[in-house]
Structure 1
Amino acid sequence: MGRLALFLLTACLSVTTMAADVIKGERKETFGDVTVHYNTFNSTFLTPDIAKAAELNRSKNQGVINVSVLKEGKPQTAQVSGTVKDLTSQSIPLKFKQITETGAVYYIAQFPVDQQEIRTFDIKVQTGDKTNTISFQQELFPGQ
């Protein structure tokens, strides 16, 4: 699983870098001493062995959202839930699973990407008795 954490971190950085011209900044939200990093990418960015280890479906029509929570710069466990909406406001619940490795905690979920379109993500992150919400839009493309 160490390779999975390394890959997801690399994917976060490379997808953020590739989208920097569009996004103009890092994908994170800060709530007091808690920082939530997040990104989305097509599951074809995952190698077959990484997808299998994470129990993810690797397909050109499947996206992945990756969320990590840090408290004072250290990995923090949380309850992560959310939805993704298409342009018709059809909402799909995201089923996050926690991946814990030495020095890292990630929450990942998959969602369908049937065509190029802008999707709206609403993510709730609960740490202790605080719940914070992140909403963002992302243009998605089916993979190759």
Structure 2
Amino acid sequence: MLPFLFLATPLLRYTFGLILYTPERTMIQRLLTTFGGLLASLCLSLTAQAQSGSESFGDYQVYYSVFNSTFVRADIASTYQLNRARDRALVNVSVARTGGEASNLGLPAEVSGTASNLLQQTQNLEFREIDEGDATYYIATVRHTDEEMYNFRLQIQPEGAERPFELSFSQKLYLEK
């Protein structure tokens, strides 16, 4: 992701620096270019602040994402008693079973884990189950500072699985501006 941001920086400089002030451009072309540049920078900032992925463990697929808590609408955060703050990120985990003809989404599981920064300061993640009928997922909160790298280590044991799955990933977290 970082090489993409590095490559995009000259593009944004070009978009805002050269194209906008070229006398041959019409006003509409300048506005379209500005809009395109703003849209690209918005997409880049969202990409840099949220990560998602999945990993297979036999017949199970574990989906995870980490994003700033302010991305959640206030009414939804209130319903699920989630703390929205610029220095809080949410870790979201869901488990699906892929074996057989149909896949089951959001299976019940025991989820636990830790989040450690580069100074080895560790936070225990306290996952809460969110059950929406046919989908179950788990959410935990992480407190962080700006541009802080975290290493996540999760243990997931779906109901009926013989042993827990170990999932590790890293992500840089940003304060919401």
TM-score (ref. length: structure 1): 0.81
The percentage of counterpart residues that share the same residue type is 37
Aligned counterpart, 1:63:
89
Instruction: Tell me the distance in 1 between the aligned counterparts of 2:119 and 2:96.
Output: 34
The SS at the match of 1:120 is strand
Aligned counterpart, 2:166:
133
**Equivalent residue for 1:19, pick from 35, 47, 52:** 47
User: Please, what is the CA RMSD of the aligned residues?
Assistant: 2.0
The SS at the match of 1:27 is strand
* Distance apart, 1:130 and its partner CA: 1.5
Aligned counterpart, 2:176:
143
Larger Rg computed on CA atoms: 2
Structure 1 stretches (4+) deviating beyond 4 angstroms?
none
1:100 counterpart = 2:128: no
Answer 1 or 2: which has greater strand percent: 1
Unaligned runs of 5+ in 1: 1-14
The SS at the match of 1:82 is strand
TM-score (ref. length: structure 2): 0.66
- One-letter amino acid matched to 2:75: D
Aligned length: 125
Answer 1 or 2: which has greater helix percent: 2
Aligned counterpart, 1:43:
69
